[in-house]
Amino acid sequence: MPDALLGMELPELHGALARVAGQDQPKYRARQLYSALYRQKIGDVREAAVLPADLRAGLGDLALGLPEIDHVYNSIDGTRRYLLKLADGRTVETVLMPETGRDTVCISSQVGCPVDCRFCMTALMGLERSLTAGEIIGQVLLVARDNHLSIESGNFNIVMMGMGEPLLNLTNVLKATRILCDPEGVGLSEKRITLSTSGIIPKIAELGQAEVRPKLAISLNASTEEQRREIMPITRKYHLRDLLDACRAYPLRNWEKLTFEYVLLGGVNDSDADARRVARMLGQLKAKVNLIALNPGPGIPFVTPAPERVASFQEIVKRALPCFVRKPRGLDIYAACGQLKRNEPLVALG
Ligand code: SAH
Ligand code: SF4
C-alpha cells in the first residue's frame, strides 16, 4: 500500500514532506499539514490552502488515505450504515447513530475479527487484516464530512465497537486516539471515545498505561466461567476470573467508570440467577452495565429474549450497580451490534 498521509503524526509528516520537497523544509510546514488533515479535515491535499502550490503538487502523489464510500444503508430509525472501501479494495463498516443532541459513530478496528464469539456475525468472517491508524481516523472524518457534523461541538461520540477486536490492534488504535484527542488535531475529548473489548487481558493492562486512551468497555456476556467459555471461546485462553482481576487492577481516571456489556441470549445467560451472579461479580467495581438483547442474524444459533426477561434481569442488576438496556439501532439494515458482516444481502428480519 502507498504511504497515506492520514494517520501520520508530526514527525512522520515532517519525513513525508522532506521526501517530496527536500530536507530543507521548515518545521512549521508539517504542523500546517497536520492542521489541514485533522482540523480542517481536507478531502484532498489540494484543499490544503496554507501550503505553497508547488508543495501541494508534490504531495499530490501521496494518497490522503480517506476511505471511499461504497454504499450507504439508511435505517428507518435514522441510523446510517456505511460500507467503506479501503485502499486495497477491502471493505469495512462504520455506523452513524444520530440522536437528539448528540451523534455517535461506531467505528471498526479490523476487517473481520479473529475472536470467535458464537453470537456475532463479524466472527463468521474471520480476520482479514487490522486497520491502520489512518483508516481508523478516516472512518470518523468521512462520516463527519458526509453528514456535516462538527466533531468539536461537544456532542460527538466515538465507540470502537464495530468490526474487530480493538485490543488486538492496540498500537494503531492508540495512535488514532492520540490524533483524535489532540487539541491541534481532531480535538475530541477522551471522555467521548469508548473502546469495547472481548477481554484480551494483557492488552487491558497495556491500555491502562497509555497516556491518552479511550474509556474501557468489557463485553462480559456471561455469569460463569463455563457459560462464557461456551459462547466466547476466547475465555479458554483468558479466564473470566482473571478478566475480573484485570478490571479491578485497571487504573481508572477520576472521571471514569468501567462499562460492562452483556448480550442477553434467550435461555442461555438471561435467567434471574445469572443476573444475581452478575450483580455480585460487579457490585464492588466502579462500573455500569449495558444490556443488549441479542440482535439476530443468519448463522447465529441463539434467540432474542422476551422484553419481560430483559426487564427482570435489569431490575436485579440495578440493585447492585447502574444498569441500562441498550436499544438496538439500525436493525433493519444490519447495522446493530454484532451484525456487521459486509455486503450481507438485506433480507427483512422477522
Ligand atoms: N470486539 C469488541 C467490539 C465489537 S463488538 C467486543 O467484542 O467488545 C461490540 C459489542 O456487540 C460487544 O459488546 C458484543 O458483545 C456485542 N455483540 C456482538 N454480537 C452481538 C449480537 N448478535 N447482538 C447483540 N450484541 C452483540
Ligand atoms: Fe469479535 Fe467482538 Fe464479534 Fe467477539 S463480539 S467476534 S470480539 S467483534
Q: For 116-125, what is each residue's pLDDT tens digit?
A: 999 999 999 9
Strand-pair category, 258-264 with 215-219: parallel
| Exposed e or buried b per residue across 248-284, where buried means at least 16 C-beta atoms within 10 angstroms of its C-beta | eebeeeeeebbbbbbbbbeebbbbeebbbbbbebbee
Rounded Cα distance, 131 and 13, in Å: 19
- For residue 276, the CA-to-ligand 2 centroid distance in Å is 25
pLDDT of residue 100: 87
pLDDT of 336 reads: 74
Q: Whose CA is nearest to atom 3 of ligand 1?
A: 161
Model pLDDT, residue 348: 39
Catalytic residue check, 181: no
Give ∠ CA 258-242-205 in degrees, rounded to 5: 55
pLDDT at 334: 76
Q: Is residue 190 annotated as a catalytic residue, yes or no?
A: no
| Ligand 1 pocket member 169 (CB < 6 A) | no
Nearest residue (by CA) to ligand 2, atom 4, is: 117
Handedness of CA 192, 195, 201, 207 (dihedral sign): negative
With a 6 A CB cut-off, is 93 part of the ligand 1 pocket?
no
Grid cell, residue 324, equals: 441500562
> Residues with Cβ within 6 A of ligand 2?
113, 115, 117, 120, 122-123, 164-165, 198, 338
Q: Nine-digit cell at 293? A: 438483547
Would the CB of 263 count as within 6 Å of ligand 1?
A: yes
- Helix 27-38 and helix 10-21: axis angle, to 10°? 110
* Spatial distance between the Cα atoms of 243 and 227, rounded to a whole number of angstroms: 15
| pTM, to two decimals | 0.94
Q: What angle do CA 299, 301, 302 make, to 5 degrees?
A: 130
Q: What residues form DSSP beta bridges with 345?
A: none
Other CB atoms within 10 A of residue 28 CB:
9
Query: pLDDT under 70 in the chain at which residues?
Result: 1-2, 338, 342-350
12, 93, 152, 344: the catalytic one is 93
Report the C-alpha dihedral over residues 306, 308, 310, 311, rounded to 10 degrees.
Answer: 160
> Which residue's CA is the nearest one to ligand 1's atom 9?
161
At 2 the pLDDT is: 54
Q: Which ligand 1 atom lies nearest to the CA of residue 164?
A: 1
C-alpha span between 79 and 121 (Å, rounded): 19
pLDDT for 343 equals 53
- If one residue of 219, 295, 303, 304 were mutated to test the ligand 1 pocket, choosing by the most ligand atoms within 8 A of its CB, it would be 219
- CB of 119 shorter than 6 A to ligand 1: yes
